[in-house]
Amino acid sequence: MSRPTKHDPERGDARTRLLEAARDIVRTQGFAATSVDQLCRAAGVTKGAFFHHFASKEALGVAAAEYWAETAGTLFSTAPYHDHADPLDRVLGYVDFRREIIAGDIGEFTCLVGTMTQEAYASHPAIREACAAAIFDHAATLEPDIAAAMKARGIVGEWTPTSLAAHTQAVLQGAFILAKAADDPAVAIDSVDHLKRYLTLLFQTPSKGRTT
């Protein structure tokens, strides 16, 4: 055990390590099934440190959602799909980028805030709000490109950029659930392919494509 003290920086401070532990463990076990002790063990800190940084387990959940939104924000804002000249290519490039991420271990590509939403939407309003912000703020980053693609092609469909952006997130979240159920990422990739096909059909339609 040697000397446990001396403020060992190791990898980041205690708060960040707890947030990263939450990201990894909550994604595979869920929020309720993850105990504070387990988080502390994984982060290599004591309970005292936990409750120094977070007022409660719920507060940790909120912070984890915010941390998730932050890291995802930089991941996607620096991704290469923004380089395409055509706005539709940027949207399709986003879907391709999401598709690439889906591989390997399920606990590593699935979405923390989607998982937490399911458990916390009724019992922990603060967590629900933080998750909603993470999801819909991320969706909002797609709206300008969708709107530009609509304008460029003169599309005036009965749907809005907001609802289409939200739909992309719904497909992704649902794909994650199916991948977890099937214990196989392939089914998630199939759904993302269907999403890309939808976007392509939507924007290649010469007429308005009335359906409803």
107 binds DNA (CB under 7 A): no
- Calculate the alpha carbon distances from 95 to 14, 64, 79, 128, 199 in Å: 35, 25, 12, 25, 10
| Residue 4 in the binding site for DNA (CB under 7 A) | yes
Q: Binding to DNA by residue 210, rule CB under 7 A?
A: no
Rounded CA gap, 116 and 105, in Å?
19
- From the list 20, 23, 24, 51, which residue makes contact with DNA (rule: CB under 7 A)? 51
In angstroms, the Cα distances linking 13 to 19, 38, 44, 55 are: 10, 18, 10, 17
- Residues at the interface with its own copies (CB under 8 A): 28-33, 106-107, 113-115, 117-119, 121-123, 128, 131-132, 135-136, 159, 163-164, 166-167, 169-175, 177-178, 180-183, 187-188, 190-191, 193-194, 196-198, 200-202, 204-205, 209, 211-212
Cβ contact 83:145 at 8 Å = no
CB of 70 to its own copies, least distance (A): 18
The CB-of-6 to DNA minimum distance in angstroms stands at 4
Separation of alpha carbons 54 and 60, rounded Å: 6
Nearer to DNA, 41 or 208 (CB): 41
Among 20, 24, 58, 96, binds DNA (CB under 7 A): 58
**Cα 181 to Cα 85: distance, rounded to the nearest angstrom:** 38
Residue 177 binds which entry of DNA, its own copies, none, with Cβ cut-offs from 5 to 8 Å by kind? its own copies
Q: Quick one: tokens of 39?
A: 């988080």
- Could you give the count of Cα atoms lying within 13 Å of 212 in the half-sphere of its Cβ? 3
Binding partner selected for residue 180 from DNA, its own copies, none, CB under the kind-specific 5 to 8 Å limit: its own copies
Helix orientation angle between 125-140 and 161-182, rounded to the nearest 10 degrees: 120
Question: Which one of the spans 4-12, 103-111, 136-144, 163-171 is the region binding DNA (CB under 7 A)?
Answer: 4-12
- Each residue 14-33 as x (binds DNA by CB under 7 A) or -, in order, gives xx------------------
Residue of 13, 20, 66, 129 that binds DNA (CB under 7 A): 13
